[in-house]
Amino acid sequence: MTFNAARQEAFRANYGKDFEDFITRNLPLWTDGDGVIASSIRAQNGLEDIPYFNSVTGSRFGVLAINNMYIPYLNALAANNASVQELRKWRFNAVTNYDFQHPRLKGFSLGGAARWQDRVAVGYGVKKNELGVWVSDVNQPFFGSDELDVDVWLRYTRKFRRDKVRWTAQLNVRDLFGSDDLIAVTAQPNGTIASARIPQPTLWSLTNTFSF
């Protein structure tokens, strides 16, 4: 019989650091104005109201920059110290095998293995930061379920041709209690599942080995 346990943790760090200088230099340009989207040329106030593709009523430089660069940057900062998704903190494994000694069962052996994996973070809730922008909340994680997989096998071994050839036949069943339920991978900010993967089905296999 063997048993082992593993513990692993990983966190995101320095998110957005390489973008910090760019944001510091350009944020004053993106917010150069009164913060009100201009509805006409006369209402333009500052660099933030520069029209995109010369469209007076279309998108504005400041709005595009804030939505597409600054807010994603704030989200990146908020993700610092968040646990890496799909990484399970604890794993336990157990394996056992028994060789029958009774004369009628000589050559037979029975074994099994169990693998348990801790629940996994699949996403985070959101909160408003000091600027009123919605960003990820690392203190509000959403978790997927833990997993338990069980394997079993039955083996028969015998020798023939004056013990010169060893024959082993083994029946393996992987994920004996396999479920058809989808496994959550990522979650929406409200906790609902955004994506999932198909679990591995129960797998039966029969192998024959000759050693000589």
Between CA 115 and CA 128 the distance in angstroms is 40
Write out pLDDT tens, residues 124-181: 898 888 777 888 888 888 998 899 999 999 999 998 888 889 999 999 999 998 888 8
CA torsion angle for 127, 129, 133, 137 (degrees, to 10)? -30
> Residue 55: what pLDDT?
63
Q: Rounded mean pLDDT of 185-209?
A: 92
Domain boundaries along the sequence of the chain: 13-81, 84-212
The structure's pTM equals: 0.65
Per residue in 39-64, pLDDT tens? 777 777 888 888 776 666 667 888 88
Q: How far apart are CA 103 and CA 101, in angstroms?
A: 6
